[in-house]
Amino acid sequence: MYDDACRFLAENFSADFASWLLGEPVILTEIQPSELSLDPIRADALILLESDNVILHLEFQTRPDPDIPFRMFDYRGRGYRRDKTKTMRQVVIYLKQTASDLVHKTDFTLERTRHEFDVIRLWEQPNDLFLQYPGLIPFAVLEQTLNPESTLRQAAQVIDQISDSTIQANLSAVSAILAGLKLEDEIIYRVLRRDIMQESSVYRAIQRETKKSRDREIAINLLREGFPVEAISRGTGLSIEEVQHLQQQMNDAPQN
């Protein structure tokens, strides 16, 4: 859910991300993961954008991941293979505060090879930074603030000033999703209007994906209990083919 929200922002407000991370409001276009021959499973959390001179590689993380350094090294090599003339800015953006040392790791080292990348911990970012750019407003509640509810109210006020109703609805929806990392739903919906969010296409898409993800989890649990595929399909709304695919994945997974 959080990956989808961040992907929507990066893809639809690329100039705002460029202003923040590259220092200039250039328009960036999306690179499809297939262009780097990436495994689809690993590509889920990957966001690649490019201009004429630079590739911007973003990874949004809600929790520490020990595999991040190698992934950044791997993607840099694939980017170089695709276009040797472009520089590549790689940024890991951690959304949720943690005391783990992993969120301070900014390099990958292997024998005589060393690769460096950037890390941003949103909870250390200065107050009001993200309210300067429409596409970054949803991150405001995650920045350095002693009162996240008050910050969310400030974000809501800025969003209310946006004249385009579609952009307003989408930013409200994504703000609500990301605010869930720090605030209770009751507070979020007291500050942000649920009726406006429900008009958002991104909100509806993420809700559908979230429901489907829950349905898959339920299906996997039922498969483990030995329920027949047809019954699981009827109970979850997943197609028989989808349930069979989950069953095949379970059968192919290495046994502990």
Of 70, 94, 124, which residue is a domain's last?
Answer: 124
DSSP code, position 254: P
For the full predicted model, state whether its pTM sits above 0.85: no
How many CB atoms are located within 10 Å of the residue 233 CB?
Answer: 17
Of 156, 176, 199, which residue is a domain's last?
Answer: 199
Do 9 and 40 lie in one domain? The reply is yes
Do 71 and 145 lie in one domain? The reply is no
Do 112 and 148 lie in one domain? The reply is no
Residue 85 or 32, more confident: 85
Task: Give the pLDDT of residue 100.
Answer: 96
Burial (CB count <10 Å: 0-12, 13-18, 19+), residue 75: buried
Average pLDDT, the chain: 89
Of 124, 142, 157, which residue is a domain's last?
Answer: 124
Q: Domain limits at 236? A: 203-252
Residue 86 or 249, more confident: 86
Do 37 and 109 lie in one domain? The reply is yes
The answer on pLDDT for 41 being more than 50 is no
Cα(161)–Cα(69) distance, integer angstroms: 40
Task: Give the pLDDT of residue 36.
Answer: 75
> Which residue matches tokens 């783990």?
100
Q: What is the mean pLDDT of residues 192-209?
A: 72
Do 113 and 149 lie in one domain? The reply is no
Please count the structural domains in the chain.
3
The answer on pLDDT for 43 being more than 60 is no
The one-letter amino acid code at 70 reads F
Q: Reduce the DSSP state of residue 126 to 3 states and report it.
A: coil
Do 46 and 108 lie in one domain? The reply is yes
pLDDT tens-digit readout, 94-117: 999 999 999 999 999 999 999 999
Do 115 and 34 lie in one domain? The reply is yes
pLDDT tens-digit readout, 122-150: 999 987 889 999 999 999 999 998 899 99
